[in-house]
Amino acid sequence: MPLTCRGRVRGLEPSRGDVDDALGKFSLTLIDTLDTLVLLNKTTEFEEAVRRVLTDVRLDNDIVVSVFETNIRVLGGLLGGHSMAVMLKDAGHHMQWYQDELLHMAKDVGLRLLPAFNTSSGLPYPRVNLKHGIRGPESRTGTETDTCTACAGTIILEFAALSRFTGDPVFEVHARRALDFLWEKRQRNSNLVGTTINIHSGEWVRRDSGVGAGIDSYYEYLLKAYILLGDDLFLQRFNIHYASIMKYISQPPLLLDVHIHKPLLPARTWMDSLLAFFPGLQVLKGDIRPAIETHEMLYQVTKKHNFLPEAFTTDFRVHWAQHPLRPEFAESTYFLYKATKDPYYLEVGRTVLDNLNRFARVPCGFAAMKDVRTGSHEDRMDSFFLAEMFKYLFLLFAEEEDLTFNVEDYIFTTEAHLLPLSLSTAPHTPSPPANTTEELDDSNFDWTCPNTRLLFPDPAFPRNLRDPIRSAVDKSCPRPAVSAVAAEDGMRFMQEMMELSSQQQKEQLPPRAVQIVSHPFFGRVVLTSGPAQFGTDLSKSITGVSVSSVCQFPINAAFVQGRIALLQRGQCMFAEKARHIMKAGAIGGIVIDDNEGSSSDTAPLFQMAGDGRNTDDVTLPLLFLFYKEGNILLEALKEYREVEVLLSDKARDRDKDRTVSFQHMDSFVGFQPILGTILDSVKISKWPVFQGSVVNQNSGPVATTVLALVEVGDGKHPV
């Protein structure tokens, strides 16, 4: 208790409800920070702390504690301390007296937690009495019916490590059984899990799904269990979950909860701070780009409020104002720096450190923020602050000579306790294979992590991802150092996020088709495209008139006249793009996503929203192609001199439609922005189906390529 300068003892202070479930009169902070002392090279203090644990800590207290918190903080803390003690003893300088005492205590804790797993499903009760277990009137627990997914699914690392350290398989068996049950109860269509589950029936009590509170470390432990234990089953399950997360929950840079049965329907319009761990997990997965984007959003929110609020809205206002000194953002910062070596993340870490010292440091420690808006404190410093925050900030700034051992030989638990990877080779009883063969085809997933130097050969590339997000969250005038393009990108992002709720609540329109009908495709290539919630519906008639545009793009009006403009996503709202090209005389448009790697295979159908204004004035059709599909169209342009395409509500038989086509210029220059945009064009035929040939034009401030187009009559060849 850093404000009153004393320790919090369960029962002596007014109850804080569930927050106190982590306290069990077992010197929580002391145990939770053992391996932190070793990492900070405080070996003398570590040795003293271990002796203090052995002499002072009692585990047979008649007190009800959280199974989840006791597992990750106490059991994990003892196992992390044991790992460090063995490492120091083997090095020959410290802990020579140590005879696995911490491991014996860890097994005692494990045995006290085991009664919680005595359910028909294998899912543990959320609470257990350290002395009396679950059954009986003395336990004062065991009547609960529900637990959170993370509570039941964040056991495997500690329990498997305990089994392999001690040779007793019972702990790993129970942890695997709980994970198997959660996997079997996932929603089979979306492959997502809910937040709260009935431990007896397996029915989902809360069907919202995200990567934050209630679920977070379930996903984390699937991937880390594969890393620690080497069992492919965990990676396969994680990959299947991850694909669904990226398809439904991830809306870069946001991570928004959805309903497991209707994953296209948002479950809430705010995010909680616990999801800040997810970019770090994406680094372990090897998916760096979305990690950079989400982390940058979190960083800008942090700078806006000095700390990450416990919850914040999609337009980055405070939803819950407290900040209990959570370490997840620092964790992701560390992992991103390790992966990219981008010094930017050292600046991020310095910001975190400065804010802690400026706003949270008090005479007896660091005080949690009661309200980030006012800077008021709470007399609270949770053990995870010393167990995790200190570790990740130290590791972020540490040089190689600052570390007395190689942290790459260890995995970090969700509480940042260090478990040796050598446990994968420790003798253990293999678990029977789960009956999940039909679901575990993950042939589409890579089994190796990418080299970030190959991902980002241009050092400026990560910055290009971050700049638009910085502008969006800031919502102020762009700083002089920020480019105009980045500022426009940021404004576009902000506007789109503000429209997200209304967009998803509107009627779900069916996808549209972009069909390549010329040689050698002959209509066999059909690209799934997203519709717009405004403008001409390709399945209906054209109505409305053109109005002036307010989105300023350099455009050759004479060239666009009577054609479809091919546009790169960015710079302004979709409706403004439509107004702009309509003013220039275009009769249609295709927007290609600039998010590299996006695809209709993995992302839900994207519907382009309006801009909050009346869009009845938009009278041309606008379609959206994800990056993968758009690149197919661009590659076709690059390889063939002429490409005929068909825009429609569904693919057509080519022989039924007449086309006009035009030569494609030789000097295709790639999909690179010139003055913030690219404008290609598609010649449109006079028939109701929008059909014609795509040609490429590259306009710049210095030189303009002029392409002469000659329309020919029906049945003749292009000139």
Helix, strand, or coil (residue 588): strand
Q: Is residue 62 part of a domain?
A: no
- What pLDDT is attached to residue 657? 40
**CA 688 – CA 587 distance, rounded (Å):** 12
Q: Which of 125-129, 477-481, 509-513 has the highest mean pLDDT?
A: 125-129
* Percent of the chain residues past pLDDT 70, beyond the cut: 78
Instruction: Indicate the range of 36-45, 100-109, 164-173, 585-594 predicted with least confidence.
Output: 585-594
Query: Do 3 and 364 contact (CB within 8 A), yes or no?
Result: yes
Annotated binding residues for Ca(2+), written as ranges, equal 414
* Percent of the chain residues past pLDDT 90, beyond the cut: 56
**CA 378 – CA 711 distance, rounded (Å):** 74
- What pLDDT is attached to residue 713? 41
Beta-bridge partner residues of 699? 704
- Of residues 180, 310, 378, 680, which has the active-site annotation? 310
pLDDT band at 527 (very low <50, low <70, confident <90, very high): confident
pLDDT higher than 60, residue 463: yes
Print the SS3 string covering 219-235.
HHHHHHHHHHHCCHHHH
Q: Is residue 596 part of a domain?
A: yes
Cα-based torsion angle of the residue sequence 329, 300, 287, 341 in order, rounded to the nearest 10 degrees: -80
- What pLDDT is attached to residue 671? 29
Query: Do 330 and 396 contact (CB within 8 A), yes or no?
Result: yes
Note the maximum CA span of the chain: 96
The domain total for the chain is 1
User: Of residues 251 and 691, which shows the higher confidence score?
Assistant: 251
Measured on CA atoms in the order 18, 23, 29, 32, is the torsion positive or negative?
negative
- What pLDDT is attached to residue 710? 36
Q: Is residue 616 part of a domain?
A: yes
What H or E segment, with its residue span, contains residue 591? strand 588-592
- What pLDDT is attached to residue 641? 63
Q: Is residue 251 part of a domain?
A: no
**CA 670 – CA 672 distance, rounded (Å):** 6
**CA 517 – CA 692 distance, rounded (Å):** 9
- What pLDDT is attached to residue 709? 37
- Of residues 328, 388, 629, 657, which has the active-site annotation? 328
Active site includes 158? no
Q: Is residue 628 part of a domain?
A: yes
For residue 532, give the CATH number of its domain: 3.50.30.30
Helix, strand, coil shares of the chain, percent, nearest 5, are 40, 15, 45
Pick from 521, 509, 520, 519: nearest CA to 651: 521
Query: Do 555 and 680 contact (CB within 8 A), yes or no?
Result: no
- What pLDDT is attached to residue 277? 98
pLDDT higher than 70, residue 559: no
Residue 102 token pair: 């911490």
DSSP assignment letter at 674 = B
pLDDT digits (tens, 9 = 90+) for 570-628: 767 888 888 888 888 888 888 888 888 787 766 777 888 776 678 888 888 888 988 88
pLDDT higher than 90, residue 105: yes
Query: Do 658 and 644 contact (CB within 8 A), yes or no?
Result: no
- What pLDDT is attached to residue 383? 98
Active site includes 144? no
**CA 597 – CA 182 distance, rounded (Å):** 30
Average pLDDT value for the chain: 82
- Of residues 21, 32, 69, 257, which has the active-site annotation? 69
Active site includes 184? no
DSSP alpha helices (H): ranges in 2-114?
Answer: 28-32, 34-39, 43-56, 67-69, 76-91, 101-113
How many C-beta neighbours within 10 Å does residue 9 have?
10
Which residue is listed with tokens 């404004």?
Answer: 491
**CA 290 – CA 566 distance, rounded (Å):** 26
pLDDT higher than 90, residue 94: yes
- What pLDDT is attached to residue 379? 93
- Of residues 35, 216, 293, 629, which has the active-site annotation? 216
DSSP alpha helices (H): ranges in 114-169?
Answer: 149-153, 156-166
pLDDT band at 439 (very low <50, low <70, confident <90, very high): low
Q: Is residue 585 part of a domain?
A: yes
Query: Do 426 and 361 contact (CB within 8 A), yes or no?
Result: no
- What pLDDT is attached to residue 662? 30
pLDDT digits (tens, 9 = 90+) for 379-423: 999 999 999 999 999 999 999 999 999 999 999 999 999 999 999
What H or E segment, with its residue span, contains residue 208? strand 208-209
- What pLDDT is attached to residue 442? 61
Active site includes 347? no
pLDDT digits (tens, 9 = 90+) for 252-284: 899 999 999 999 988 999 999 999 999 999 999
- What pLDDT is attached to residue 199? 97
Q: Is residue 375 part of a domain?
A: no
pLDDT higher than 60, residue 490: no
**CA 162 – CA 156 distance, rounded (Å):** 10
- What pLDDT is attached to residue 653? 54
**CA 351 – CA 620 distance, rounded (Å):** 48
pLDDT higher than 50, residue 716: no
User: Of residues 466 and 705, which shows the higher confidence score?
Assistant: 466
Instruction: Indicate the range of 164-168, 471-475, 549-553 predicted with least confidence.
Output: 549-553
Q: How long is the chain?
A: 719
Query: Do 533 and 643 contact (CB within 8 A), yes or no?
Result: no
pLDDT digits (tens, 9 = 90+) for 8-31: 999 998 888 999 999 999 999 999
- What pLDDT is attached to residue 584? 83
Indicate the burial class of 359 (C-beta count within 10 angstroms; 0-12, 13-18, 19 or more). middle
Query: Do 509 and 531 contact (CB within 8 A), yes or no?
Result: yes
The one-letter amino acid code at 156 reads I
pLDDT digits (tens, 9 = 90+) for 656-694: 443 333 333 232 223 233 222 333 333 333 323 333 444
Q: Is residue 74 part of a domain?
A: no
pLDDT higher than 70, residue 698: no
Q: Which domain holds residue 516?
A: 512-648
Annotated binding residues, written as ranges, equal 414
